[in-house]
Structure 1
């Protein structure tokens, strides 16, 4: 289960960090990752993951020679030419002077935005600050992925999307639902982590075309998106773990009911003076 969790969040946090936090080895994770592939393909995939992870861990400072040395010391025999070939194919290049430019495939810096919230999760009105994230839900024998968008004014979930793959389309569907429901004005802050889905060019362009200001958590810092982490924790304790869904359709129906009927309309929230998100918004509108 720990390895599956690391694989789920591989695009969001550094694998080395997650392995340390969960108390497992990187070598063990990569052995688990390639367990069902052909020998040649799984070696290639494993080395690509190792190289990308090492490149991220050392913040683009290491080129092929140092990455090769690092991997050999970790117990993954590889040649300089082999590592250099993979790096060239992936567009990975070390930062080595003023002439350095990240390619369009750079892993850690493409479309990374500043943290505009800095853990200030208060908002004076609706559609001032939104936050979004992805969580995983185990259903029988596969993962189901849930992307949500929260308005920090009331902690209301204003957009969400479910899918069996964790892609750009997943997060874009959630944000599109939010825009279809809310009259957002230019200047709206939309905060997320640095996951590849949230750095995808199509997603970034969509937000900017709607006048949004993008904000991102610091690398590997889940507390920079604490309200969403808190929501996911409640969802899993109050619904997912209790129900132990056996089918995708059953899970989808349950999550719909939890978000739209229970959480938004009924569940009292301490940040809302113990009112539900919708009741809090209605009271604010009457007072305006």
Structure 2
């Protein structure tokens, strides 16, 4: 064991304590032996580390390459760009430097759904592309899409009332499971005054064929309808809504965070799309305007009868 009588400076003592601590000696005992305060040692241990000139220049190269790519380059691309400038850099070293600098590629990775085991269902396509509905709360349609949120994919479940193409329920989650679709359905059911005998149409995704989701439909006294397998046209109104969201509103590179995505998508659904965006199905009127016209007409009929 080293002793305080060793003729070494304070920095050298701290260095010895750190080295011996790595060999499993307790810091409290080491500081006592060397006669130094633990708070002084911790302050030295946690001090900002000065980068070497080589490391500083390497990080500047990485940062410059990242900014040149407008934030889209990942570690592999940055390694190639920096190496081409005469500063050899591997993909793995580039990854560590990006992490140290807090740089994250804004480029979306390719999305792949995980293959899920789902129960066999024999639910007919009761809607059969009869998308023109005579009143609200008669037919709802749902679907799920994926959205990039900076570091990973998030999943949006949407429920659309087909009468005026009004979004009535939605939910965003990091997991594309039946809990997500149940949450969107519950929002629709409660926000629309718990209507009965609604037909709910979707594709044959496992989130909609799962027992928990189907049980929720039964509790809400809804009739389930499903598209034919692999036929997106059987659910085209919701497909069009998702396409409009992604082409009109979402940034091409996705969102920086989950919370940003949630806030921005909600603005689209309850604001622009529902209240202002002209819809060809509604003869150029926004969904909420058409629904309000319908309910006003119903009140007029009720007064006159």
Shift of 1:243: 7.0
SS class of match (1:8): coil
For 1:140 and 1:3, the matched residues in 2 are separated by 10
1:154 — aligned with what?
A: 164
SS of corresponding position for 1:261:
helix
Structure 1 residue aligned with 2:295: 285
Unaligned ranges ≥5, structure 1:
12-104
1:183 Cα deviation after fit: 3.0
Report the TM-score when normalising by structure 2. Answer: 0.59
Secondary structure of 1:265's aligned partner:
helix
Residue by residue over 1:97-148, the C-alpha shift from the partner in whole angstroms, topping out at 9 and shown as x without a partner, is xxxxxxxx7x4x6234110111111111000000000000112231010000
Matched, 1:200 2:305: no
RMSD of equivalent CA atoms: 2.0
C-alpha separation between the residues in 2 aligned to 1:121 and 1:230? 13
Q: Aligned ranges for residues 4-43 of structure 1 at < 5 Å?
A: 4-5=110-111, 7-8=112-113, 10=115
CA contact (8 A) 2:148 2:253 kept: no
1:140 matched to 2:245 = no
- Unaligned stretches of 5+ in structure 2? 1-106, 299-305
Match of 2:128 among 100, 115, 118: 118
Alignment deviations for residues 235-274 of structure 1 (CA, whole Å, 9 cap, x no partner): 0011113573211111111001011111111111111121
Tell me how many residue pairs correspond in the alignment.
Answer: 192
How has the CA–CA distance of structure 1 residues 241 and 2 changed in structure 2, closer, same or farther, with 3 Å as cutoff?
A: closer
Aligned residue for 2:200, secondary structure, equals strand
CA distance in 2, matches of 1:8, 1:241: 22
Q: Where does residue 80 of structure 1 map in the other structure?
A: none
User: Which residue does the alignment assign to 2:200?
Assistant: 190
Contact 1:265 1:277 in 2 (8 A): yes
| SS of alignment partner, residue 158 of structure 2 | strand
Measured against aligned partners, the alpha-carbon deviations of 1:74-106 in whole angstroms (never above 9, x if no partner) come to xxxxxxxxxxxxxxxxxxxxxxxxxxxxxxx7x
> In terms of Rg, which structure is larger?
2
Q: Secondary structure at the match of 1:111?
A: coil
TM-score, normalised relative to structure 1: 0.63
Matches within 5 A, 1:160-179: 160-179=170-189
Q: Per-residue deviation at 1:287?
A: 1.6
Q: Which residue number corresponds to residue 57 of structure 2?
A: none
Q: Secondary structure at the match of 1:165?
A: coil
State the distance in 1 between where 2:165 and 2:209 align: 24
SS in 2 for 1:159: strand
Query: Map of 1:189-228 to 2, 5 A cutoff?
Result: 189-228=199-238
Q: For 1:110 and 1:230, locate their aligned partners in 2 and report how far apart those are by CA, in whole Å.
A: 28
Q: 1:9 to 1:276 in 2, by over 3 A?
A: farther
Query: What is aligned with 2:266?
Result: 256
1:157: Cα distance to partner?
0.3
1:255 to 1:9, Cα distance in 2 relative to 1, 3 A: farther
Whether the 8 Å CA contact 1:127–1:184 is kept in 2: the answer is: no
